[in-house]
Structure 1
Amino acid sequence: MKITIASRNPKSNKFPLELEVAGTAESIKTSQVSEALAKKFPKYYIERQRLTTEDKKVLDADKTLKEQAILENGTIYFKDLGPQIGWRTVFMIEYGGPLLIHPIFYYASQLIYGQAYEHSAMQTWTYYMVMLHFIKRELETIFVHRFSHGTMPFTNVFKNSAHYWFLSGINLAFWVYGPWFSEGKQAAIRNDVWLYGSVAVWAWAELSNLMTHITLRNLRPPGTRVRAIPYGYGFDLVSCPNYFFEFLAWTAVCFLTTSWSAFLFNIVATGQMYIWAVKKHKNYKKEFKDYPRNRTSMIPFIA
């Protein structure tokens, strides 16, 4: 079957071109077209391609051309997404920032702040909570998460990492581990209910977040893009309980530290997670006609 590949870039000197793929519109899948294009231009490996119809509708890799109204001598539009980087690698870089930054501010506090002082219980607990959170995220990235999209544009790694390296890294660490919260300072005083209550809520939220990630992982067999409706702990009320539990974990850190830097990070992170949750919630309802109607996007009974 002959297919015309046109570029979305009007300045391209490689396109349009005619690609011949073995089979018919009824049997050829979009993935086969991607493979044929990558074979002709190795620079445009499959993850770097976006194949669409003329009206910019992205073609489904697992569907045949006929299912997407592309017939003999039809035209498919190609966009170069640029150099790609694996999502797993992106997450490792993002979460690695706070794991490097917090120990520097905590253990080199005399050098950074120019004075010697003893860390308060609040500072010590916060340090371990932050470190355990991001160690958990790294381990989940390696052993739990299965990605429906394997890569993202390489340049995005800098934008994505800035959120973690600066807001939950430098900004949070500098203001929480400073001498103004050191042992003996009024601002650092926490009674046992305040201190251990915050830690307990944080631990419950982190474990709950892990459980929801495991539920999502078990929905998708290895090496597939299978999608299904998640059920179980957390999913009875919201579509994205993993985001809700993460919000609760960081809220516990906020109330333990009372630092504006923790609240800032939590507000920004929660805002982004809510945007993702709304999008996923809409996709679930669109894709599954029997999707539970009582669920909200992220926050039970509210939104």
Structure 2
Amino acid sequence: MAAITLNVEPRGKPIKGLPKECKVSPDASVQEIYSSLATSSGYSVHRLRITKGSDRSLVPNAKGTTVDETGLKDKSIIHVKDLGPQIRWRTVFIIEYLGPLLIPGLFLFPLRPYLYYNFDKPLPEPSDLQLLVCGLLTIHFLKRELETIFIHRFSNATMPARNIVKNSAHYWILAGFNIAYWVFRPDAAAATTKPNMLVRNIGLGLFVFGELANLNTHLVLRDLRKPGTMERGIPSGFGFGLVTCPNYLFEVIAWTGVYLVGGLSWSVLFFIVVGSAQMMSWASKKERRYRKEFGDKYKRKTFVMLPGIY
């Protein structure tokens, strides 16, 4: 099939080295356009976004999509935008979870005398309950890190590097500094030497169940996407008959366990509320995407995250 010529125009700030034309075969993968323009500009393919000049629709960087399938013809105009320095999503998640993974142990031990300097000396040793909460937080975020490295597959390879601070703030501040400081205070409810064992054990049970069920959901979701592709299947299995995103449901259950073990600390509750609001938004978007992507093949869910509630 004869090659066609695409007219290339920058969108936004100029891109040094960007050619005015790009020749490609109609039956070639769209990736070839990205690769050609990335080579010419010296940028990563993940830093470029290409849209059609006719309707501003995205030209996906997809190996399984041909140039002809996008509707691009000879002399079609494509706009190329520089998205700025990028960072891999896997790296983003590792950085996000690293803070709340390390902060509890630091607050409970080496930084304890400095954080709670205004309490009477000598400071009491951390209670068994505070040690237990520290262990639960460490287990939770260590699990998150391991899932990021070994389980998760990402539909988008990168994100703008400038967003890393904003993305990390939620976990570093709310799950790290906020929870650790208040739960580990010498006068916190969790500092008691006589905890309510029933509440503690219920909390532990919820945490263990939530973490294991959440892990199972992530394994199911991983197997829906083949490595190196953007194709997805319809999820099914434990929890998926109840809600669209059981991983979020089980996340809330696990954190409810931390809330009970931690002496009903408002700081943990605050993190649960803020996190749940964000996950509800994500779950709603995923339900709409499933309905659009799979049509009648998909069994629509009444509740996207919390059975009987939302």
Q: TM-score, normalised by structure 2?
A: 0.90
Distance 1:245 1:90 in 2: 23
| 1:226-265 equivalences in 2 (<5 Å) | 226-257=231-262, 258-265=264-271
Across the two proteins, how many residue pairs are aligned to each other? 297
Shift of 1:36: 1.0
C-alpha distance in structure 1 between counterparts of 2:41 and 2:102, whole Å: 40
Q: Is the 8 A contact 2:15 2:41 kept in 1?
A: no
Partner of 1:40: 40
Superposed CA offset, 1:70-91 (max 9, x none):
1111011211111111111111
**Residues 211-243 of structure 1: per-residue CA shift (max 9 Å, x gap):** 000001111122222211011011112121111
Give 1:16 deviation, angstroms. 7.3
Q: Report the Cα distance in structure 1 between the residues aligned to 2:30 and 2:226, rounded to whole angstroms.
A: 21
CA RMSD of the aligned region, Å? 1.9
Q: 8 Å contact 2:13–2:82 — kept in the other structure?
A: no
Distance 1:38 1:15, change over 3 A: closer
**What CA distance in whole angstroms lies between the structure 2 residues aligned with 1:295 and 1:150?**
32
**2:202 matches 1:197:** yes
Corresponding residue for residue 149 of structure 2:
142
Aligned AA (1:133): H
Matching residue of 2:292:
286
Aligned mates of 1:102, 1:244 — CA distance in 2: 24
Q: Could you say if the C-alpha distance between residues 259 and 184 of structure 1 is closer, same or farther in structure 2, counting changes exceeding 3 Å?
A: closer
Tell me, yes or no, if structure 1 residue 170 matches structure 2 residue 177. yes
The Cα shift of 1:63 comes to: 2.0
**Distance in 2 between the 1:175 and 1:76 partners?**
54
Mapped to 1, the partners of 2:56 and 2:272 lie a distance apart of: 36
Give the alignment partner of residue 19 of structure 1, picking from 22, 40, 54.
22
Q: 2:51 aligns to what?
A: 52
CA distance in 2, matches of 1:176, 1:291: 43
Q: Is the 8 A contact 1:123 1:177 kept in 2?
A: yes
Corresponding residue SS for 2:243: coil
Contact persistence 2:202–2:260 (CA under 8 A) = no
Q: Is the 8 A contact 1:123 1:182 kept in 2?
A: no
Give the letter aligned to residue 164 of structure 2.
V
Could you tell me which runs of 5 or more consecutive residues in structure 1 were left unpaired when the two chains were aligned.
none
Match of 2:187, SS?
helix
- TM-score normalized by structure 1? 0.92
Instruction: Provide the identity percentage.
Output: 41
Q: What is residue 113 of structure 2 aligned with on the other side?
A: 110
Task: Using the TM superposition, give the Cα deviation of residue 64 of structure 1 relative to its aligned residue in structure 2, in angstroms.
Answer: 2.2
Q: Is the 8 A contact 1:119 1:182 kept in 2?
A: no
Offset, 1:302: 3.2
Q: Deviations over 1:77-121 (max 9, x none)?
A: 211111111111111111111122111111132342134103223
How far off is 1:194 after superposition?
Answer: 0.4
Change (3 A) 1:106 1:67: same
Provide Cα deviations, 1:234-254, integer angstroms capped at 9, x if missing partner.
Answer: 111212111111111112222
Amino acid at match of 1:20: K
Q: Does 1:222 align with 2:227?
A: yes
Cross-structure match for 1:9: 12
Alignment-mate amino acid for residue 173 of structure 1: A
1:26-78 deviation digits (Å, cap 9, x = unpaired):
x13321110111121112x1111111123332123232233222111101121
- Contact 1:7-1:16 within 8 A present in 2 as well: no
Summarize the Cα distance change of 1:49–1:172 in structure 2 as closer, same or farther, 3 Å threshold. Answer: same
The amino acid across from 1:49 in the alignment is L
For residue 239 of structure 1, give the secondary structure of its aligned residue in structure 2.
coil
User: Aligned partner of 1:169: which letter?
Assistant: G
Q: 3-state SS of the aligned residue for 2:241?
A: coil
